[in-house]
């Protein structure tokens, strides 16, 4: 039986091998990009550096609640220990979509993000996969690293299957914030509030 490896070690190695096939992971090695924040009457223009980290959840799935993954059936080569040492299974579908993640993240400028109510934000993109439009959900956290640098952790990313639990596509269109606005607020140390809550009485 193969020894369980943590996600960080797979990243350093640069690949995972399953059933004799090697799946490259170098695209998951934390890219960075520049984000220009335009000046406003209240604040000067700002150039931010966004450093990105991808967790194993972007390319793996975990057990259902109250259950455990059966690696005798799935294959022990697919075992990945996440950042909390929770066993997860390499997911071929999530991996395939992850190949577009770095570019998705670099082009967030101007896009809207949705609040999930769990302290992170969700970006939903319609992606045409072999002629079929799907929703690729990207969950992330954003925090200030220093004066001009933000740290962005992509906690999970996947195409939701019909009927699966979770927030899914938000019905309240007011609960959105532009990524640029979010980044500027985080850089200035301002609190982020769900805009939809401000309209409730």
Give the closest residue to 26 by CA, choosing from 3, 59, 48: 59
pLDDT mean over 55-77: 93
pLDDT on residue 2: 59
Give residue-wise pLDDT tens across range 77-117: 999 999 899 999 999 999 999 999 999 898 888 788 888 87
Percent of the chain's residues with pLDDT above 70? 86
pLDDT band at 196 (very low <50, low <70, confident <90, very high): low
Percent of the chain's residues with pLDDT above 90? 56
Q: What is the DSSP string of 124-180?
A: EEEEEETTEEEEEEEEEEEEEEETTEEEEEEEEEEEPPTT--S--S-S-TTSEEEHH
Look up the pTM and report it.
Answer: 0.87
pLDDT on residue 172: 55
pLDDT at 18 over 90: yes
Give dist(CA 91, CA 105) in Å, integer.
20
pLDDT mean over 133-162: 89
pLDDT band at 54 (very low <50, low <70, confident <90, very high): very high
């Amino acid at each position: 039986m193969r020894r369980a490896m943590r996600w960080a070690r797979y990243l350093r190695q640069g690949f995972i091998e399953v059933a004799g096939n090697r799946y490259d992971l170098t695209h998951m090695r934390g890219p960075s990009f520049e984000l220009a924040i335009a000046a406003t009457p209240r604040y000067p223009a700002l150039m931010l550096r966004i450093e990105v980290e991808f967790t194993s959840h972007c390319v793996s799935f975990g057990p259902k609640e109250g259950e455990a993954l059966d690696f005798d059936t799935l294959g022990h080569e697919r075992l990945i220990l996440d950042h909390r040492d929770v066993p997860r299974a390499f997911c071929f579908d999530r991996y395939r979509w992850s190949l577009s993640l770095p570019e998705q993240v670099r082009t967030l400028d101007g896009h809207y993000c949705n609040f999930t109510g769990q302290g992170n934000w969700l970006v939903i993109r319609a992606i045409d996969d072999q002629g079929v439009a799907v929703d690729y959900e990207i969950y992330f956290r954003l925090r200030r690293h220093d004066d001009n640098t933000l740290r962005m952790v992509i906690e999970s990313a996947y195409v939701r299957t019909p009927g699966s639990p979770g927030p899914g596509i938000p019905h309240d269109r007011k609960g959105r914030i532009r990524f640029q606005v979010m980044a500027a607020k985080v850089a200035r140390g301002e609190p982020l509030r769900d805009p939809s809550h401000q309209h409730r009485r």
